[in-house]
Amino acid sequence: MFSVGLTGGIGSGKSKVADLLAGWGAAVIDTDQIAHALTAPGGEAIEAIRARFGEAAIAPDGAMDRAWMRARAFEDPAVRRDLEAILHPRIDQAVRDQAARARGCYLVYVVPLLAESGRWRDRVDRICVVDCDPETQVRRVQARSGLTPQAIERIMSAQASRADRLAIADDVVLNDGPTSLDELVRRTRVIHDSWRARAACRSGGESSHE
């Protein structure tokens, strides 16, 4: 199945782009949603997190305490490595399971840390970056999360730089400050149509679409 790795920094709008693609017939697998499910109350990773980090890492509702974990992961790289060692194999298995069942005109993997992982170039046909300027990222994340600009900038500093993401991109959807929703839809549709055509060529026929 023709596949795309979709990525972008925090606040770039990659989830909105993924929603548009799904609405037009693409099969979408979101690794961030998988990670949230693994760390939700009763999630598959909860007991391993509890065993490694203790009860303090678990919120009263039984989910991983994301604020607690975020603070410690930024302070201590070993904490982040240990958390990744718990989550990444489980995420990879879930991705494989979902991909085996996927149906659509092509397959999209939404991977926030695609550039950082270095493991996706050979797994997908195209890499698409949803790109925006850092100031817009901070403003959007602050509006939706209430995090301070300093906390958001710490998160951004742990991610690949804008230049590093763009360096691996086959396709780019620009979603910076002045971009309207209508313009984002138009830009995304152009790229969707090109991927759908590639997928149809590979399958030897017309790919399903909206």
In this prediction, residue 204 has a pLDDT band, given cuts at 50, 70 and 90, of: low
Q: Which of 46-50, 139-143, 201-205 has the lowest mean pLDDT?
A: 201-205
pLDDT of residue 9: 92
Its pTM stands at 0.89
Q: Is the domain covering 1-26+106-210 a CATH 3.40.50.300 domain?
A: yes
Q: How far apart are CA 124 and CA 200, in angstroms?
A: 16
Residue of 207, 171, 209, 170 whose CA lies nearest to 187: 171
Strand partners, 64: 58
pLDDT of residue 117: 86
**Average pLDDT, stretch 140-158?**
88
Q: Which of 46-55, 82-91, 157-166, 188-197 has the lowest mean pLDDT?
A: 157-166
Q: Is the pLDDT of residue 19 over 50?
A: yes
pLDDT of residue 105: 95
Q: Which of 3-7, 103-107, 140-144 has the lowest mean pLDDT?
A: 140-144
Q: Is the pLDDT of residue 210 over 60?
A: no
- The number of CA neighbours under 13 Å toward the Cβ of 89 is 8
Higher pLDDT pick, 149 / 127? 127
| 58: phi then psi, degrees, rounded to nearest 5 | -110, 125
pLDDT of residue 209: 42
**Average pLDDT, stretch 67-89?**
92
Max intra-chain CA distance, the chain: 54
**Average pLDDT, stretch 59-85?**
93
Ordered by start, the domain boundaries in the chain are 1-26+106-210, 33-103
Q: How far apart are CA 50 and CA 53, in angstroms?
A: 5
Q: What percent of the chain has pLDDT over 70?
A: 96
Strand partners, 54: none
Q: At what angle do helices 31-38 and 77-101 cross, to 10 degrees?
A: 110
**Average pLDDT, stretch 172-199?**
95
- The number of CA neighbours under 13 Å toward the Cβ of 3 is 18
Higher pLDDT pick, 157 / 63? 63
